[in-house]
Amino acid sequence: MGMNLNPFTWWTGASWGTMFGLRGKKRVGEDSLGNVYYEGGKDTAGNPRRWVIYSGSNDASRVPPEWFSWLHHHIEETPDEAPVPVRKWQKPAVPNLTGTALAYRPPGALEAGGHRARATGDYEAWSPDA
């Protein structure tokens, strides 16, 4: 299915049109998730254009912070050339988990069993007559 679907879709990776458009562009690196980064040409402000080709579904939350900084011209060198120092309080980047089985479910959510803690008595319902 992947080979036949590729020319027509963008949500499962780069289409043939995107890959054709990247001809002549420089591949500058790859991140730990398998996303590939390219650079080439100039935008209207004279800055170099930068692209990411996702490994898997096209989800911007799957770009690690250091590569996000490079894509948006916050840093000039790629994270491979000049690694960004990791602070001890930083957690590893995690893609957006909304809509998956690993998404956050607050207590009382139907997906989490639908039972919430009993009210503590400090809540008083509003009444229009009060």
Q: What count of other Cβ atoms lies within 10 Å of the Cβ of residue 79?
A: 19
- Sorted by where each begins, the domain ranges of the chain are 2-92
Residues 96-120 as b/e (b if ≥16 CB within 10 A, e otherwise) read eeeeeeeeeeeeeeeeeeeeeeeee
Mean pLDDT of successive 10-residue stretches along the chain, which has 130 residues: 53 66 86 91 90 84 90 91 88 85 84 74 80
Residue 5, pLDDT score? 53
Altogether, the residues listed in the chain come to a count of 130
Q: What is the pLDDT of residue 71?
A: 94
pLDDT for position 13: 60
